[in-house]
Amino acid sequence: MKFGKEFASQMVPEWQEAYMNYNFLKTLLKDILNFRQRQSRSPGNQVNPRPLPSKATSLKRRGSLFRAFSGLTSRYGNKNPTKDKEDEVILVSAMHTIDEEQGEDAQSYQTIFLRSSEGGSEYEIVFFRRLDDEFNKVVNFYRAKVEEVVKDAEELNIQMDVLIALRIKVNDPAVVSPLINQRNTGHPMEVIHEEHQEKRSGDVKEFQMASLDVLNHIKINTTAETPLSALKTVFNSSKSGLHYNKNELRDAKEKLKQAFIEFHEKLRFLKNYVFLNQLAFSNIMKKYDKITSRNASDAYLKMVEESYLGQSDEVAKLIERVESAFVKHFCNGNRHQGMRTLKPNTKRKKHRVTFFVGCFFGCSLALVVAITVSVYNRGLFRSTGRTQYMDTIFPLYSLFGFLVLHMVMYAANVYYWTRFRVNYSFIFGFKPGTEMGYTEVLLLSSGLSVLTLAAVLSNLEMELDPNTKSYETLTELVPIGLVTVVLLITVCPFNIIYRANRFFLLVCFWHCICAPFYAITLPDFFLADQFTSQVQLLRNLQFYVCYYGWGDFKQRDAKTCSNSNVYDVITIVIAVIPYWIRVLQCMRRFLGGHDSTQALNALKYFSTIVAVVARTIQTQHGGVILQIIAGSTSGIATIFSTYWDIVVDWGLLRRNSENPWLRDKLILPSTSIYFIAMVLNVILRLAWMQSVLDVHEAPFLHRNALIAIIASLEIIRRGMWNFFRLENEHLNNVGKFRAVKSVPLPFSYEHDDKNM
């Protein structure tokens, strides 16, 4: 792999703009190369060759053969200050300027090209000017990030002071291991480095216990982790005093542990940032020397090594101190366990996953062929039981079809997110190494497809009992058995079938149910948005309850469900629930002060609720007035939702952006894809209005089949929405250089008094 691709693949996606623009500098080098090639082909205007060495120069070079040899230990070749002036190509100097925003002394680097009299020198002057811009950008970003992590280290110092004091207070001080007073009196993270200040008296070591005075100045932060605690937070203070119990200690320790993990990851990102940029500057200068036949890399790389980028060691020291403190305080001194937690292994692709995806996909195709042949040979499309089958069995199995289609769309999203380096794992908050790739998602979807198609085939093979005129109960229970299997796998506590992802999904699902009582995060409202596109799946679940609860499955007849007014009311409620959850989530975010636009977002979902209720009532009862009301409310909701999708969620249709009517930053290489996506979103948004237009059944399709097609189109639209929504979120993180999760710390200070 070429260095440019390797360099891009190793970048922190959210910091991409802060790295050296290697490809841009390569284009400048190509301009220099093209000019030299043109000059070499032009007989009357050739590039002046380097002058042959004169006799004096030859004597100097011959004399250099008798100098002491030091080339193998010199990093940048000849660093002798007595280097010949005529061999110098560039002069690099550091300049001190005043930062107007912060009013602080800043340092920048400038390169002077000493061969400006030669032909084509303007290209090289431009190259070094842009090279300096890139280097100053890298140095300034790194310096700002170092200052940021130093402040974070000071904060963690104080948090550790409180944790250790709380540990002593909770436990019996007589049995607590001796701890030193870990006040932050020196370099940040000196506490965490644990440079023990020991008082020796002969062979006896005396330790000074950690001070408990810090407990008088702090309060513990309580997050709304349960609906009950959320209610307490609303009616009482959001913070509470310390009660000095073990549960409090355990929770505080767990939060600090997570804070250390995220802080260590940020430090590793910074360390890798320095290494990659130094390597990039080295490679670009070597390319310059190769193209121009000059020797400028020594001087420039020496400047890089002597700059803040090469000389700063704060990050390396902080990494060492964080690891030492983490192993001692959170892993009981087990360094292997601590390092495995701080540096999780990179997830590797498993060939058996790809193998089973192929197997399940092949089995699915075979089952589709078998079902088609069975239907054709038995003439089921022309039989009298066709309508009965579509009214009863088809809704039971179409539920799994919606689920499989949604999973396939998500697998496609993961594939393209990975391809275009959208950091979906960080955005969703997956535990490192547990996120599912597109092959794993396809494995689950294809496996579920095989089970569903096998169940469909078993139902087709069932015959009516001529004596009792009833269907075999065991066969009719296949759909509910399949639902039971899927639910049991979802809640299975054993470490099989991607347990971390299943539990992550269940937690987000629980947060959606208890929407107003939890702090709303992106995975929560993202999952709720998926449910708004799966209304028909929820209605099919309702049909399961009615069909099997009232015993209609024994006669394969759904009259109890279709003739029940209660069932019709529940159908409306089921359709409203996903949108109502989003209304509650938006209001929680609005009242929490996170985003003032969430009030409008809540209004958007409320308009959709009105439209859904009107459409459902009109479908159930008919009537011209109801149809007009349903049409108008659906039109308003469609326009409102389409505008919000494209302008707010996707961030497109920016009139004055660098990409006309799109946005300034785009990930996809072709701008036409965005316009196609906007048009498709509008068309697919209109598809759900078919019920308003009273298009309940096509001449060649059953009503349930048409509903399934419309529901599938909405799932496809949601899959497309998912990609661009997360792309926009990724670009927002890139714009703010957010590459690490923000972890709430367990302790806060009274009156913001940190000088305890």
The pLDDT tens digits of the residues spanning 696-731 come to 556 667 888 888 999 999 999 999 999 999 999 998
Task: Determine the average pLDDT of the residues in 322-328.
Answer: 90
Torsion from C-alpha of 350, 13, 716, 392, nearest 10 degrees:
50
CA angle, 530 as apex, 528 and 535 as ends, to 5°? 95
In order of 13, 273, 309, the CA distances from 8 in angstroms are 9, 12, 20
- Amino acid 40: pLDDT: 76
Token digits of residue 533: 């596109």
**Are residues 579 and 607 in contact, defined by beta-carbon separation less than 8 angstroms?**
no
Q: Kindly tell me the burial class for residue 183, based on how many C-beta atoms sit within 10 Å of its own C-beta (0-12, 13-18, 19 or more).
A: middle
The pLDDT tens digits of the residues spanning 224-249 come to 466 666 656 555 544 455 566 778 78
> How, if at all, do strands 105-113 and 90-98 pair?
antiparallel
What is the rounded CA–CA span in Å between residue 242 and residue 166?
9
**Which residues have CB under 8 Å from 637's CB, separation 6+?**
604, 607, 608, 610, 611
- Amino acid 105: pLDDT: 57
Percent of the chain at pLDDT > 90 equals 38
**Orientation angle between helical segments 246-292 and 335-342, nearest 10 degrees:** 60
Q: Could you tell me the pLDDT band of residue 732, with boundaries at 50, 70 and 90?
A: confident
- Amino acid 100: pLDDT: 55
Token digits of residue 216: 């008088």
- Amino acid 472: pLDDT: 63
- Amino acid 699: pLDDT: 63
Q: Helix, strand, or coil here: 223?
A: coil
Q: Among residues 532, 364, 535, which one has the least CA distance to residue 454?
A: 364
CA end-to-end distance (rounded Å), the chain = 54
**Which residues have CB under 8 Å from 159's CB, separation 6+?**
256, 259, 745, 746, 747
Check the CA dihedral 597-602-605-610 and report its sign. negative
Q: How does DSSP assign 691-734, residue by residue?
A: GTTT----TTS-HHHHHHHHHHHHHHHHHHHHHHHHHHHHHHHH
- Amino acid 279: pLDDT: 93
**Are residues 479 and 396 in contact, defined by beta-carbon separation less than 8 angstroms?**
yes
Q: Could you tell me the pLDDT band of residue 186, with boundaries at 50, 70 and 90?
A: very low
The answer, yes or no, to whether residue 98 has pLDDT greater than 70, is: no
Which residue bears the tokens 């990659």? 276
pTM (whole model) above 0.85 = no
Which residue bears the tokens 């529940």? 570
**Are residues 608 and 637 in contact, defined by beta-carbon separation less than 8 angstroms?**
yes
The pLDDT tens digits of the residues spanning 443-464 come to 999 999 999 999 998 887 765 5
Check the CA dihedral 542-545-547-553 and report its sign. positive
The answer, yes or no, to whether residue 604 has pLDDT greater than 80, is: yes
- Amino acid 488: pLDDT: 95
Q: Could you tell me the pLDDT band of residue 195, with boundaries at 50, 70 and 90?
A: very low
What is the rounded CA–CA span in Å between residue 138 and residue 612?
53
Ranges 61-75, 311-325, 395-409, 605-619, most confident: 395-409
Q: Among residues 750, 326, 740, 681, which one has the least CA distance to residue 533?
A: 681
What is the rounded CA–CA span in Å between residue 531 and residue 540?
13
- Amino acid 185: pLDDT: 43
> How, if at all, do strands 239-240 and 747-749 pair?
unpaired
Percent of the chain at pLDDT > 70 equals 79
Identify the bridge partners of residue 500 per DSSP, sorted by sequence position. none
The pLDDT tens digits of the residues spanning 423-442 come to 899 899 888 888 899 999 99
Boundaries of every domain in the chain: 1-42+85-343, 351-735
Mean pLDDT computed over every residue of the chain: 81
Task: Determine the average pLDDT of the residues in 390-412.
Answer: 93
- Amino acid 65: pLDDT: 46
Ranges 245-249, 292-296, 594-598, 715-719, most confident: 715-719
Which residue bears the tokens 């087709």? 460
Q: What is the DSSP letter of 378?
A: H
Amino acid letter, 211: S
What is the rounded CA–CA span in Å between residue 283 and residue 702?
65
Identify the bridge partners of residue 662 per DSSP, sorted by sequence position. 654
**Are residues 335 and 327 in contact, defined by beta-carbon separation less than 8 angstroms?**
yes
Per the rule left: phi > 0, alpha: psi between -120 and 50, beta: everything else, 699 is: alpha
- Report the b/e string of 116-132 with b at 16+ CB within 10 A: eeeebeebbeebbeebb
Which residue bears the tokens 């497309």? 720
What is the rounded CA–CA span in Å between residue 88 and residue 78?
12
Token digits of residue 628: 């007009």
**Are residues 277 and 19 in contact, defined by beta-carbon separation less than 8 angstroms?**
yes
The pLDDT tens digits of the residues spanning 22-60 come to 999 999 999 888 888 888 776 655 545 444 444 444 444
**Which residues have CB under 8 Å from 119's CB, separation 6+?**
39, 45, 47, 48
Q: Could you tell me the pLDDT band of residue 620, with boundaries at 50, 70 and 90?
A: confident
Q: Could you tell me the pLDDT band of residue 107, with boundaries at 50, 70 and 90?
A: confident
- Amino acid 247: pLDDT: 81
What is the rounded CA–CA span in Å between residue 515 and residue 527?
12
What is the rounded CA–CA span in Å between residue 324 and residue 338?
9
- Amino acid 182: pLDDT: 45
Q: Helix, strand, or coil here: 286?
A: helix
The pLDDT tens digits of the residues spanning 112-139 come to 888 777 777 888 889 989 999 999 999 9
The pLDDT tens digits of the residues spanning 653-676 come to 998 888 999 998 999 989 999 999
The answer, yes or no, to whether residue 188 has pLDDT greater than 60, is: no
- Look at 173-182, 526-535, 633-642 and tell me which has the smallest mean pLDDT: 173-182
